Amino acid sequence: MGFNLKDYSSAASVPSSTSQPLYNIPIPSFLSIGQGKNATWLFTTLALVVGLLALEQSVYRYKKRHLPGATWTIPVIGKFADSMKPTMTGYKKQWDSGALSAISVFNIFIVMASSNEFSRKILNSPTYAEPCLVHSAKQILMSDNWLVVFLTGKGHVDYRRGLNILFTKKALGIYFGIQEQIARKHLARWLAVAAKDPSSQPIMMTARHMNMDTSLRVFCGNHIPEHAALEINDKYWAITQSLELVNFPLAFPGTKVWKACQARKVAMYWLELAASRSKAAMATGAEPECMLEQWVRILSDPSYKGKRDFSDREMAMVVFSFLFASQDAMSSGLIYGFQHLADHPEIMAKVVEEQERVRQGNWESPLTLETLEQMTYLNAVVRESMRVKPPVTMVPYRATKAFPITDNYTVPANSMVIPSFFNSLHDPEVYPEPEAFKPERWLDAQGPANQNPKNYLVFGAGPHRCIGLEYANMNIALVLATAVSMMRWEHEITPLSNEVEIIATLFPKDGCRLKLTPRTHT
């Protein structure tokens, strides 16, 4: 409600001793706005602002209730400053405040889950919560791209069941030879660069390139030309950057989101073409040589039960989803694997010994899926590496409706609710000395690590658990096995070397620098 000073001054009684009229009293210029109708707008505006800020605090406190977290939120922006530069230290502080805790960023109410119980409950409650990633995700990844995160319920389950056929042991056997061939090609390039410049080099972007090349060849075979594969690899970095925790959300020309959308269009063009070419190749009766061809062959099998008619665009979206799910997370997992082996020479020695025993001196002979499965110590190294430094520590979800997560607290509808993977993977009761890198913990079938599989949330849980987890494990193990056979490496410690990133896309470009030399076998 506004107040008009003229109305009140005309009705007020003025003492007779006051000989000078009020309006003749000098008033500072900066207060002159208080005279007249402008005062109504000023006071109304101030009242509205104060009222809205008070309402904001009241809503935050009402939603937060008894959860740990700041008693008051910073007006409008909340924890925006912290989200601009997230750190593991900051998140650990938040997680340590309680199994559930609350924060607010730009009036988005967020409930953080730190315990294994609540994290798994979020991941396994599709009725109440769905993955939401970041605000711009649907623009970049396409809102009708059901596989990534945008389909839930029975439809999502049915689609995933149909795609499980792409990750059977038979299918993985087809991919294996492609993976090893690409790994050898890229590692040979790394050694060639090292021969010209023996100083240590950052490996993030080169590892990402190898991973993208591997993925495109496994998924699409030779149906994508080399120049197109290079273009997709180069432009995909724009997609990575656009999915940071905080970004301008609208796709205006020149913004990260706009660049990401342009990169996605390029990738989708080539992926649709690859799907079309795969169908043509299988129509000739050829044997499958990549994932798309294997998929087409399965769909044409008379005994197959399920959806058979997939358009080129639908198949391309599946492949694009697989690229999204694997590119940065698997690249980071691979980089951490190199780093852990370099930082623990005694473990590296055991890996080399196992390679010598399993390969029986045939260092140049191609490996097989069965041979890789015999490398139990190497597979334990991969498993432990991703536990100590998980490629992804959390995945944002959105409460689609009021979510009664405990008996005495309900997450409000449309709030963000974020399960943490890190605490589950560093639970001292399940993983004694949780910060220590100990692959041996996975060799004891009766040990706490193997007896508590629910804690191993590297690949998530529930209906959106990573569909390609066996493929990812196989690829990282294969690359490390191939690297051990071809070269030695040393890790140059940098200030960023021991950072555990919040999400894979934030892995520092110079966080892992390696010095490479060829390995000779006697």
- At 30-79, the pLDDT tens digits run 445 445 567 788 888 888 888 887 888 888 889 999 999 888 787 877 77
Question: How far is it, in rounded angstroms, from Cα 268 to Cα 460?
Answer: 27
Q: Do 61 and 140 sit in the same domain of this protein?
A: no
The percent of residues in the chain predicted with pLDDT above 70, rounded, is: 84
H helix and E strand count, the chain: 19, 10
Flag whether 124 is in a domain.
no
Q: How many CB atoms lie within 10 A of CB 87?
A: 13
Q: Do 274 and 353 sit in the same domain of this protein?
A: yes
Over residues 184-194, the pLDDT tens digits come to: 999 999 999 99
Mean pLDDT score, 113-129:
95
Flag whether 129 is in a domain.
no
Question: How far is it, in rounded angstroms, from Cα 336 to Cα 138?
Answer: 29
Q: Do 233 and 316 sit in the same domain of this protein?
A: yes
Q: Do 61 and 146 sit in the same domain of this protein?
A: no
Token pair for 358 = 């399993």
Over residues 289-330, the pLDDT tens digits come to: 999 999 999 999 888 887 788 899 999 999 998 998 888 889
Token pair for 467 = 């569909």
Q: Do 23 and 163 sit in the same domain of this protein?
A: no
Question: How far is it, in rounded angstroms, from Cα 245 to Cα 234?
Answer: 22
Maximum mean pLDDT: which of 239-248, 292-301, 431-440, 486-495: 431-440
Q: Do 178 and 45 sit in the same domain of this protein?
A: no
Q: Do 432 and 297 sit in the same domain of this protein?
A: yes
Over residues 452-504, the pLDDT tens digits come to: 999 999 999 998 888 899 999 999 999 999 999 999 999 988 766 666 554 44
**Residue 67 near residue 98 (C-beta atoms within 8 A):** yes
**pLDDT tier for residue 230 given thresholds of 50, 70 and 90:** very high
**Residue 290 near residue 275 (C-beta atoms within 8 A):** no
Q: Do 156 and 20 sit in the same domain of this protein?
A: no
CA distances from 459 to 133, 330, 416 (A): 15, 11, 20
> Whose CA is closest to 325, among 481, 211, 205, 209?
211
| 321 vs 117, higher pLDDT | 117
> What range does the domain containing 38 cover?
1-65
Residue 500 has a pLDDT of 55
Flag whether 121 is in a domain.
no
**Residue 157 near residue 460 (C-beta atoms within 8 A):** no
Over residues 396-430, the pLDDT tens digits come to: 899 999 999 999 999 999 999 999 999 999 999 99
Flag whether 316 is in a domain.
yes
Token pair for 455 = 């804690």
What 3-state DSSP class applies to 395? coil
Flag whether 90 is in a domain.
no
Over residues 327-372, the pLDDT tens digits come to: 888 998 999 999 999 999 999 999 999 999 999 988 888 999 999 9
Listed in sequence order, the DSSP H helices in 413-517 are: 422-425, 448-451, 469-486
Sign of the CA dihedral with 202 first, then 205, 209, and 211 last: positive
Q: CA angle 383-388-392, nearest 5°?
A: 85
Flag whether 96 is in a domain.
no
Question: How far is it, in rounded angstroms, from Cα 167 to Cα 13?
Answer: 89
Q: Do 142 and 18 sit in the same domain of this protein?
A: no
Distance of CA 308 to the CA centre of its chain: 31
CA distances from 446 to 374, 376, 441, 443 (A): 20, 16, 10, 9
Q: Do 301 and 182 sit in the same domain of this protein?
A: yes
Residue entry with tokens 């798994």? 120
**Residue 186 near residue 206 (C-beta atoms within 8 A):** yes
Q: Do 56 and 140 sit in the same domain of this protein?
A: no
Which of the listed residues 47, 65, 83 is the one where a domain comes to its end? 65
> Whose CA is closest to 367, among 213, 181, 169, 519?
181
* H or E element at residue 103: strand 100-105
Q: Do 43 and 147 sit in the same domain of this protein?
A: no
Residue partners of 481: CB distance under 8 A and separation at least 6: 355, 367, 372, 375, 378
Sign of the CA dihedral with 230 first, then 231, 235, and 239 last: negative
Flag whether 236 is in a domain.
yes
Flag whether 180 is in a domain.
yes
Residue partners of 106: CB distance under 8 A and separation at least 6: 76, 77, 78, 80
The total number of structural domains in the chain stands at 2
Which of the listed residues 65, 84, 111 is the one where a domain comes to its end? 65
Distance of CA 18 to the CA centre of its chain: 74
Q: What is the CATH number of the domain that holds 274?
A: 1.10.630.10
149 burial via Cβ count (<10 Å: 0-12, 13-18, 19+)? buried
Q: What is the pTM of this model?
A: 0.85
Residue 505 has a pLDDT of 43
